[in-house]
């Protein structure tokens, strides 16, 4: 895991197409904006986990 320190108004780049913009700091909370191509899905981890669980439940059972 890479840990970075940034100030309000600064940006973190991920590859060529994704940027995290630091918008606001409030105590121990950070508000940031995600700039990514339209085809890239961005979710909070707990939301993404629920999506994966729902997809697994909806997937047809396969017999070996």
- pLDDT tens-digit map of 4-57: 999 999 999 999 999 999 999 999 999 999 999 999 999 999 999 999 999 999
Task: Indicate the number of domains in the chain.
Answer: 1
Is pLDDT above 90 for 63?
no
Is residue 2 domain-resident? no
The encoded tokens of residue 29 equal 């909370």
Is residue 48 domain-resident? yes
Is residue 51 domain-resident? yes
Is residue 63 domain-resident? no
Is residue 5 domain-resident? no
Kindly report the pTM of this predicted structure. 0.76
Please, which contacts does 37-45 make with residues 24 or more away whose CB atoms are closer than 8 Å? none
Is residue 3 domain-resident? no
Is residue 30 domain-resident? yes
Domain that holds residue 18: 11-58
Q: What are phi and psi of 61, to 5 degrees?
A: -70, 140
pLDDT at 59: 83
């Amino acid at each position: 895991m890479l840990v970075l320190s940034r100030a309000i108004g600064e940006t973190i780049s991920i590859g060529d197409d994704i940027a995290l913009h630091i918008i606001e700091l409030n105590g121990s909370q950070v508000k940031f904006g995600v700039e990514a191509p339209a085809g890239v899905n961005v979710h909070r981890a707990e939301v993404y986990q629920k999506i994966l669980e729902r997809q697994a439940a909806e997937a047809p059972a396969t017999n070996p």
